[in-house]
Structure 1
Amino acid sequence: MASLLGGVLVGTPSAAAAAGSGDDPEALGRCDRVWVTNVYNYKSKHHGKGPIYKDGRGGTMTLTKHEAGEFSSSVSATVGVSVKAAVAEAKAEGTVGATVKTTWGTSHSFSHKIASNKYGNAQYGTFGHTASVEKYLTLPDCKKSQRKTGTAKIGNKTQGFRFWQTNS
């Protein structure tokens, strides 16, 4: 039976330790030719979808989104890790609301003051994370073999406008 210890473990390890770091196969008892998927280095990110709206100098920016849309989480193709596996690990590590696909309805209003002499910018999308992804085979000497790395964009059930200001 597979265990979840700091990463999604695929296979049947002979001796899985109860604790250890997600990067140390030996501490986790992963020294048996087992494929390991690890998602780590999470950073909060708004995954914008559609146009960026710009208004200003100064004043108030008011927007109403009228189109339905969606954002699909993704993993770079060269890693060989499925989106479902990356989202499952994100959930297991406490990324609340992580999901494979986020959809939104047709109406969402937004208003924000813009500082004088600045431009307001806004884009609709989902709040979530970017993360590093790796997949590797552990060897009997606890070294990693056939290691592939990439990135993941993980969407969240929370969505809305992201606002920022610029000088031009």
Structure 2
Amino acid sequence: MMKRAAITAVAMLAIAGVPNVAQADSPDPGAFAICDGGWKTDIYAQSKKHLGKGPVYKDGPGGTLVLARTQAGTASTAITAGAGVTVSGIVAEAKIEVSREAVKAVSWGTQHQYRRDITRGKYGNAQHGSWGHAVKWQKYYQLPDCKKTQVTHGTADVANTVIGFKYWETTS
């Protein structure tokens, strides 16, 4: 019995010594939360986006769009709205939250082949680029009690190492 009481006492001291464990009787469960605080960048929304670079190739109406050689190019991550973050910071956060293939920039050479049948009466269009993401980000200061004070927010287009053609059809 003495051994059980000693273990219970040690367990109670261990729980009491952990600052971020809320007590069951506490009216505010987050009252004991402790965060590391400081400036944080967070991506809170994302969607796939083709970041096309260079010329748009067009053929038709109808038939087949054939590209044997395209223009070399580079697609880069760019902050499209907002201020207070860096491209490196957005790419680092995107690697964690969106895609591990996120990069500051991706380049390609001129040797590409692409073939696509065009619907009768329509024009086929193609552009080479990075299959990246459009993201929404926020930069905030986190207080030691884990509350956030939002400082700024914005959007960015994040390049990806996956490259290729985007194809679409038009009526003219």
Same fold judged by TM-score > 0.5? Answer: yes
The reply on whether 1:93 has 2:97 as its aligned counterpart is yes
2:131 is paired with a residue whose SS is strand
Corresponding residue for residue 5 of structure 1: none
The reply on whether 1:167 has 2:171 as its aligned counterpart is yes
Match of 2:112, as an amino acid? H
Corresponding residue for residue 148 of structure 2: 144
The reply on whether 1:63 has 2:76 as its aligned counterpart is no
Higher strand fraction: Structure 1 or Structure 2? 1
1:20-39 Cα offsets, whole Å, 9 max, x none, are xxxxxx7xx57675211101
Decide whether aligned partners of structure 1 residues 32 and 66 sit closer, same or farther in structure 2, where only a CA change above 3 A counts: closer
User: Structure 1 residue aligned with 2:139, among 131, 135, 144?
Assistant: 135
For 1:17-36, what aligned pairs fall within 5 Å after superposition?
Answer: 34-36=38-40
Higher helix fraction: Structure 1 or Structure 2? 2
* CA–CA separation in structure 2 for the residues paired with 1:118 and 1:78: 39
Between the two proteins, what is the percent identity of the paired residues?
45
Q: Number of paired residues?
A: 144
Match of 1:150, as an amino acid? G
Radius of gyration: which is bigger? 2
Corresponding residue for residue 9 of structure 1: none
Q: Offset at 1:139?
A: 3.9
Match of 2:152, as an amino acid? K
| Structure 1 vs Structure 2 CA RMSD | 2.4
Mark the runs of 5 or more structure 1 residues left unpaired by the alignment: 1-14, 18-25
TM-score, length of structure 2 as denominator length: 0.73
TM-score, length of structure 1 as denominator length: 0.75
* CA–CA separation in structure 2 for the residues paired with 1:119 and 1:158: 26
Q: Out of 61-70 and 42-51, give the one that drifted further.
A: 61-70
* CA–CA separation in structure 2 for the residues paired with 1:123 and 1:30: 50
Q: Offset at 1:155?
A: 0.7
For 1:7-18, what aligned pairs fall within 5 Å after superposition?
Answer: none
